[in-house]
Amino acid sequence: MQKLLQLPVNAVNIVKSVQGVAQGQEEALSPVLTPDSGPQNWYSAVQPEELRHLRSGGTGGGGGSGGGEGSEDRPGQEEGLTSVQSQPLRHDDLKEMLDSNKDSLKLEAMKRIVAMIARGKNASDLFPAVVKNVACKNIEVKKLVYVYLVRYAEEQQDLALLSISTFQRGLKDPNQLIRASALRVLSSIRVTIIVPIMMLAIKEAASDMSPYVRKTAAHAIPKLHSLDPEQKDQLIEVIEKLLADKTTLVAGSVVMAFEEVCPDRIDLIHKNYRKLCNLLIDVEEWGQVVIINMLTRYARTQFLNPNINESLLEDSGEKAFYASDDEEDEDKKAEAATLAKRKPYVMDPDHRLLLRNTKPLLQSRNAAVVMAVAQLYFHLAPKAEVGIIAKALVRLMRSHSEVQYVVLQNVATMTIKRRGMFEPYLKSFYIRSTDPTQIKILKLEVLTNLANETNISTILREFQTYIKSMDKDFVAASIQAIGRCATNIGEVRDTCLNGLVQLLSNRDELVVAESVVVIKKLLQMQPEQHSDIIKHMAKLIDNIQVPMARASILWLIGEYCEHVPKIAPDVLRKMAKSFTNEEDIVKLQIINLAAKLYLTNSKQTKLLTQYVLNLAKYDQNYDIRDRARFIRQLIVPTDKSGALNKYAKKLFLALKPAPVLESPFKDRDHFQLGSLSHLLNAKAGGYQELPDWPESAPDPSVRNVEVKDSVIRLLERVTTLTSIPEWSKCTSRKDRKEKKVEKPFYSDSEGESGPTESADSESDSGSGSESASGSEESGSGSESEDSGEESESEEEEEDEEDQKKKRKKLDKTKPKKPVVESAESEQSSGAEDRKRVRKAVKNQKSASESESESESSESDDESEEESEEESESDTDIRKKKAPVSKQPPKQSKKESKKETQEMSLLDLDDFEPSPASAPVTPVNFLSSSLVSDLEGLSLTDTILAPTTIAPSGLIKMYELLHRITGEGLGVEYCFSRQPFSPDPNMVAVQIQFTNNTNSETKNLHIEEPRLQSGMRIREFAEIEVLAAGESVTVVMGIDFCDSTQAANFQLCSQGQKALRFHQKYLNFCSKDAQSTHTRKFFVSIQPPVGELMTPAFLTENDFKKEQGKLMGMNEISEKLTLGGKCVNEHVIVERVTATANLSRVPCGSDKECRFAGKTVSSGCLVLVTVATKDTGGAQLTVNCEKMVIGTMLVKDILQALSQ
Amino acid sequence: MIHSLFLVNASGDIFLEKHWKSVVSRSVCDYFFEALERATEPENVPPVIPTPHHYLINVLRHRIYFVAVIQSEVPPLFVIEFLHRVVDTFQDYFGVCTEAAIKDNVVVVYELLEEMLDNGFPLATESNILKELIKPPTILRTVVNTITGSTNVGEQLPTGQLSVVPWRRTGVKYTNNEAYFDVVEEIDAIIDKSGSTITAEIQGVIDACVKLTGMPDLTLSFMNPRLLDDVSFHPCVRFKRWEAERILSFIPPDGNFRLLSYHVSSQNLVAIPVYVKHNISFREGSSQGRFELTLGPKQTMGKAVESVLVSSQLPRGVLNANLNPSQGTYTFDPVTKLLSWDVGKINPQKLPSLKGSMSLQAGASKPDENPTINIQFKIQQLAISGLKVNRLDMYGEKYKPFKGIKYMTKAGKFQVRT
């Protein structure tokens, strides 16, 4: 009541509030009035407006935080009650403010109203007062009025119409942002009468000059559609128009509209498909998600399954892991089906385009984008390529737990189909005690799915720690997981079973109960061997109280009573005693047990059975009564019982199939991954099925677009600013292909292609100077060698300034057309130069596009434009730059940059552009000496962690087949040092095929391996098609039996006769002279000894212990003098790990470096010690059981270190 | 897409609601409250809750649940990621994202939400653009606003949304041009009972604070970029350039942003900077348990290990702990059974230890689970992976900026099993 007194003295107030105490209190709490202190209210009578404004503080929420608290928790009836009577009061107050002339008061009022809306209070009766202010000049007032309008227009349609004219005026405003915001609000007002106005506005905005307004129009489409679905046809027209839009700003929004309004009109996408693919990387992240999801669906309808043929080859390998039979059957069926219609599969270039353009988005910071790409790859990519998504998905596991939850759900589904993909990341799924339970259980699911013969032991060890967790739900799930591992992997079944039996003596009842249930399932698989376990469990029945566990034990004893003939009747006796106190499921099992015993051992149990059945007859539960009656009739022979009696034994003691413990994620992949439906495992509203692959590909020509280049360019120019980021829109596949063919691969091949390619010489020089500028940058990187200190020294900067000036001067002097000015362009570098180069390359591109012979003339025209199309070709150039950066290290330290450039220019042709489709290939060819130099420098002030240097970067490529001997097929290989997952005893060899011809090469595969005895090869899956200019990387496994003998085999391929004509003739020739033939090349792979091992992780103590075992004959020791560059420990580690695939063993002394590894095939330990002496000498010791390997390794390491 | 958003505080009250399409009654949150009740821990609420007509997707940040109402199929990560972005924006605006801060700034919050979503589809989520549209509240501005009646909403219409560099506004001006980069690495590890590493990974981020005039184009190169195994970028980074040259080339957003986060190749052995010697045991039959813990530095490259904090969830049977720390202070909460020990800096000469006894419930059997020990620490001026920034260059602008790099190593999820 005190509060009542504090109310502002206002006649109306008093009258109203006195009416009811309850309401009065509500008023006091109202956020609008701030009952701060008495006296102020007296003033408010004098100057109500000004003071109220001052009192209420800066923000609207301020009022609410004080008194508003109380009323908040009472929604519903009370709210309704008070609003009737008290609202006129507080709203009068606000209305007054809204009607005033002062913007500040209006603003204050609007802020409070918005605060009310935010708290879910009804403010609808202020509508007339608020809507008047829609034309207010003050932007913030206006915005808040919009907020209000959008919220309440639906309820007050007639009044809302008052505001429409304001928006219509806004739609004509010269400022694009005002046009956009007018459309945005207009379309958000859900009033059916204005549908025609909205329609008109949307149509107009869809052809607006400004892309931003067009984007808003795209947003408005689904709004109108949900308001009035009858407008669908007209809206689809607008969508079609906007889909053709070339700006990244619009793309995401319009695809969103497409998905909401007409997701089934896939035909609208055809013409825009390639454009969408190319724009994708520049679209904002939310748009990317929508577009990728849509394109996944699109691709499923338009392209062929890339795994048609591969499924045949790979399944056989994977099937061995699966124990369940029905799955195999399924596979067989699928195989049969694929066999029937097997024909060579060629990936549609558009399909490839999609895969290629989405791949970079795996690096997005936005988890939704990464997930979208991952599901796209999972559903669309050939099996061999799906693996790349694993790393990105594992990365997301570091994110917030909600993200983890969703990602793990999807990973769980993926691991069922493609286990190999996540196997290398097994440890990332290990569970921490701090994870929320739902995450723990999902991780457990993934771990279980990943388990196979090789890793099961580590996984089981991990599971053992989980069983000790405090989180009981999680412990139960862990036990089930062990059970599943045991059923899936026969080898560990006994181990698991023993482990679970041990758990039976656990103190925690839940653990015991869960183990019993799991053991029951396991025993069903091979009951004969485990009668002792059954006996053990029979003993447990006295102690275990959990009904499910009791029931399980009883069922087990009943089912296998023949294995425990002595115990079973005794158990029945005990149970009969306690029958009345048992739970229902236990009672049912007691009846079952009795019946089974009666059938097998009626002499001992007849009376017991009858006793139990009699008890059951009078049970409270009718299920139990029914069961008892049924069983009595069935087993106890009476004169009435019919023929069924004879079969009682068969009925009860039929052989029951062992249960298959399956993942709950088994069949989830028929939902599109990453979708809500997948997560819930139920179809959500509006979910679009992911269609099955078509039997035969629809006509791909529907995606062809007649490109009016100039128009597009103009459009893009209008919409983009000058400061374009240089990242790229990819060129179409065709351009890429042709360009690659034109590049000379090796310097020695230049002679061949030179003469015929004279017309293209400018493109050559273009790429030449481009890479020169690239190498300039890496040159400046190596510059830090001189300074020898942290990164940015003053000198360098000045140096740079100078350079810039120089560049500018040069640019001024240069004529602005693409001429072959290699001499000049060598010297200049930097951004300007790059542009020029791009131009030059573009000429080449456009030339090949038009396929005309008058290349130079046309390109001159085009080079005038400095448009962002250039960045398209940029993509390709960047790829080429990478290998060039190998150059600088060869320079002596004092050499000037200019020389560096020249050097690299000279050697340029030595390098092959790294192929786009070979993600695993090491792009960095930085020679080890550079690395060591750089790192040596960094060591001056701090000692780096030597163990963390990646040896993987130093992978050396070997040539398997030169492109000349291979008739255009170049093959290189390297030892990737990754574990070869199908067979851990094999060395993984990564082979990269490059097709340098201008025609496709087909059916690349291995034939007739001629191997030394004991050696084995696991071939890579046959490469169906290798398009001209493309490269592909595959991995094969070779078991070298720990010897350096070469593995010989034949590479077979089908291809057209190599045509060495100039590009421009190609189009004519390839049509006429298509003759295919099969080629075979004898090749051999000889491993360096260092590649025959895998790193082994030992502790210092283990190392010493092992070394002690490998003394004498097995120890080879050699003195050496370290090479000039081997200045410190760090370099030594670098060198040794580059020579041999060993891992560093931690070591207390800094004079010694230790490494350990195991031979791949037989797993013999290889221990290497390098002890440095102050004098510069060193002692190298290798301990290895295989003396041959030891000797060879010593030789190799010696050489590496003494360089 | 996103239909409505409800903010729910720790005690289960809805304190803010916002609708983008027609209004959804707040009673839909009852399904959420049900799930909340079922969950034993606050973080165990399932992120996606289906209801008869809607789907509720929620995230928990700063003890506030952000519950989004969805009506039809949408990638759940899309919504989750967006909600997190909303929280990040609030944090950016108000410094903290608490119930009080949101209530105090309810109008700004509303304006932000209005701009971030249009019809449930994200519109402007870049903080640079949002700040142009809606000025973040500062104390000074609040005072000025109350006196002059001016507003938080920008006077000029923003241009950022229209440019091709959507993350940077035009016309940025600074008197001191500076660019700071923080390389922060976190070690995630599980150490087993015997002290050997079960799994260890290094996750790093490079956070930048760039205050440069105009439209600078920066390139950042590393001494040893091959260390980076898996990276994710801010959208400003040119991906192709990275692919080809392993150089980060970008036009930076204005102000603070996360340039890069990376993962260091898991093939490498990770240097573990601390070791723990522990002896936590319970004797059968007695109501006492022994607790001994010693920390020591290991592979720290000569840098000091600071801000060490050890925490451990002791078994439920433990009633109290009577311990004696050689340095720092420890607390034991008998209700949650959480033991935490604020160690401070590790002195290699005198290793910090915590020894003493635990008292158990009398008569109860000894707990069969052993607690895991979580450790937090910081090492300044060291990136444990050995990553080093080589140089930072700027193109496109004339002035010479001040450039700074800081390295730090922290413990991420660092657990020792006992």
What is the pLDDT at residue A928? 39
What is the pLDDT at residue B79? 93
- A855-864, A1020-1029, A1132-1141, B199-208, range with greatest mean pLDDT: B199-208
Measured between CB atoms, does A457 come within 8 Å of chain B? Answer: no
What mean pLDDT, rounded, does chain B reach?
85
Query: Confidence class of residue B148 from pLDDT cuts 50, 70 and 90?
Result: low
- Which of A726-735, B130-139, B311-320 has the weakest average pLDDT? A726-735
Query: Confidence class of residue A1181 from pLDDT cuts 50, 70 and 90?
Result: confident
Residue B58 structure tokens: 């929620």
What mean pLDDT, rounded, does chain A reach?
70
Secondary structure (3-state) at A196:
helix
Closest-CA residue to A742 (of A876, A620, A608) = A876
Distance from the A489 Cα atom to the nearest Cα atom in chain B, whole angstroms: 23
Prediction ipTM score: 0.92
What is the pLDDT at residue A1077? 67
- Residue A607 predicted with pLDDT over 50: yes
Query: How many pairs of residues across A and B have Cβ atoms under 8 Å apart?
Result: 402
Closest-CA residue to A431 (of A483, A488, A478) = A478
- Residue A623 predicted with pLDDT over 50: yes
- Residue A916 predicted with pLDDT over 60: no
Q: Which residue has the higher pLDDT, A820 or B159?
A: B159
What is the pLDDT at residue A748? 38
The mean pLDDT of A328-349, rounded to a whole number, is: 58
Q: How many CA atoms lie within 13 A of A491 on its CB side?
A: 11
Cβ neighbours for A201, distance < 8 A, ≥ 6 positions apart: A168, A171, A183, A186, A187, A220
What is the pLDDT at residue A701? 80
* Contact flag B75-A938 (C-beta cutoff 8 Å): no
- What is the rounded CA–CA span in Å between residue A193 and residue A159? 12
Choose the mutation target among A185, A458, A791, A923 for the interface with B, i.e. most B CBs under 10 Å.
A791
For residue A373, is it left (φ>0), alpha (ψ between -120 and 50) or beta?
Answer: alpha
Long-range contacts of range B400-403, CB-CB < 8 Å, 24 or more positions apart?
B400/A797, B400/B177, B401/B177, B401/B178, B401/B179, B401/B212, B401/B216, B402/B176, B402/B177, B402/B178, B402/B179, B403/A792, B403/B178, B403/B179, B403/B180, B403/B181
Rounded to the nearest angstrom, the gap between the alpha carbon of residue A477 and the centroid of all alpha carbons in its chain is: 26
The mean pLDDT of A443-471, rounded to a whole number, is: 88
- What is the rounded CA–CA span in Å between residue A126 and residue A159? 11
Tens digits of residue pLDDT in B234-275: 888 888 888 888 899 999 988 888 999 988 866 667 888 888
Q: CB count, 10 Å around CB of A596?
A: 26
What is the pLDDT at residue A893? 42
* DSSP label of B237: B
- Residue A50 predicted with pLDDT over 80: no
What is the pLDDT at residue B208? 92
Report residue A1017: phi and psi, to 5°: -130, 135
Tens digits of residue pLDDT in A120-154: 888 888 888 888 888 787 777 888 888 888 888 88
Which residues of chain A lie closer than 8 angstroms to B84, CB-CB? 400, 402-403
* Contact flag A143-B153 (C-beta cutoff 8 Å): yes
What is the pLDDT at residue A81? 39
What is the pLDDT at residue A427? 86
Name the residue in chain A with its Cα closest to that of B234: A365
For a pLDDT cut of 90, what percent of chain A falls above it? 7
- A302-311, A1087-1096, B5-14, range with greatest mean pLDDT: B5-14
What is the pLDDT at residue A292? 93
- Residue A998 predicted with pLDDT over 80: no
- Residue A61 predicted with pLDDT over 60: no
What is the pLDDT at residue A404? 92
The mean pLDDT of A37-58, rounded to a whole number, is: 39
What is the pLDDT at residue B32? 92
- Decide: A136 and A103 in contact? Cβ < 8 Å: yes
What is the pLDDT at residue B368? 67
Rounded to the nearest angstrom, the gap between the alpha carbon of residue A991 and the centroid of all alpha carbons in its chain is: 25
Look-up of token digits 């036009």:
B251
User: Which among A212, A401, A720 has the least Cβ separation from residue B43?
Assistant: A401
> For the residues of A1130-1172, what is the DSSP string, one character each?
HHHHHHHHHHS--EEE--S-TTEEEEEEEETTT--EEEEEEEE
User: Which among B44, B58, B226 has the least Cβ separation from residue A438?
Assistant: B44
Residues of chain A numbered 969-1028 and touching chain B (CB < 8 Å)? 977
User: Which among B145, B165, B232 has the least Cβ separation from residue A365?
Assistant: B232
Q: Which residue has the higher pLDDT, A957 or A88?
A: A957
Terminal Cα-to-Cα distance of chain B (whole angstroms): 47
The mean pLDDT of B18-44, rounded to a whole number, is: 88
- Residue A41 predicted with pLDDT over 60: no
Query: Confidence class of residue A33 from pLDDT cuts 50, 70 and 90?
Result: very low
- Residue A376 predicted with pLDDT over 90: yes
Distance from the B345 Cα atom to the nearest Cα atom in chain A, whole angstroms: 21
What is the pLDDT at residue A343? 59
- Which of A210-214, A519-523, A745-749, B116-120 has the weakest average pLDDT? A745-749
Q: CB count, 10 Å around CB of B107?
A: 29
Query: Confidence class of residue A39 from pLDDT cuts 50, 70 and 90?
Result: very low
What is the pLDDT at residue A1100? 79
Tens digits of residue pLDDT in A196-242: 999 999 999 998 888 888 989 999 999 899 888 888 889 999 999 99
* Contact flag B22-A154 (C-beta cutoff 8 Å): yes
* Contact flag B16-A392 (C-beta cutoff 8 Å): no
Distance from the B386 Cα atom to the nearest Cα atom in chain A, whole angstroms: 6
Measured between CB atoms, does A372 come within 8 Å of chain B? Answer: yes
User: Which among A438, A677, A682 has the least Cβ separation from residue B46?
Assistant: A438
Name the residue in chain A with its Cα closest to that of B316: A470
- Residue A20 predicted with pLDDT over 80: no
Q: Which residue has the higher pLDDT, A395 or A884?
A: A395
Look-up of token digits 């599943």:
A484
For residue A147, is it left (φ>0), alpha (ψ between -120 and 50) or beta?
Answer: alpha
Query: Confidence class of residue A375 from pLDDT cuts 50, 70 and 90?
Result: very high
Report residue B160: phi and psi, to 5°: -55, -40
* Contact flag A727-B240 (C-beta cutoff 8 Å): yes
- What is the rounded CA–CA span in Å between residue B56 and residue A387? 32
The mean pLDDT of A988-1009, rounded to a whole number, is: 79
Residue A42 structure tokens: 């007296």
- Residue A1122 predicted with pLDDT over 50: yes
What is the pLDDT at residue A442? 92
- What is the rounded CA–CA span in Å between residue A90 and residue A32? 6
The mean pLDDT of A495-507, rounded to a whole number, is: 79
Tens digits of residue pLDDT in A671-717: 888 888 888 888 888 888 888 888 877 888 888 776 544 444 444 44
- Residue A1011 predicted with pLDDT over 90: no
Distance from the B335 Cα atom to the nearest Cα atom in chain A, whole angstroms: 15
- Residue A526 predicted with pLDDT over 50: yes
What is the pLDDT at residue A311? 52
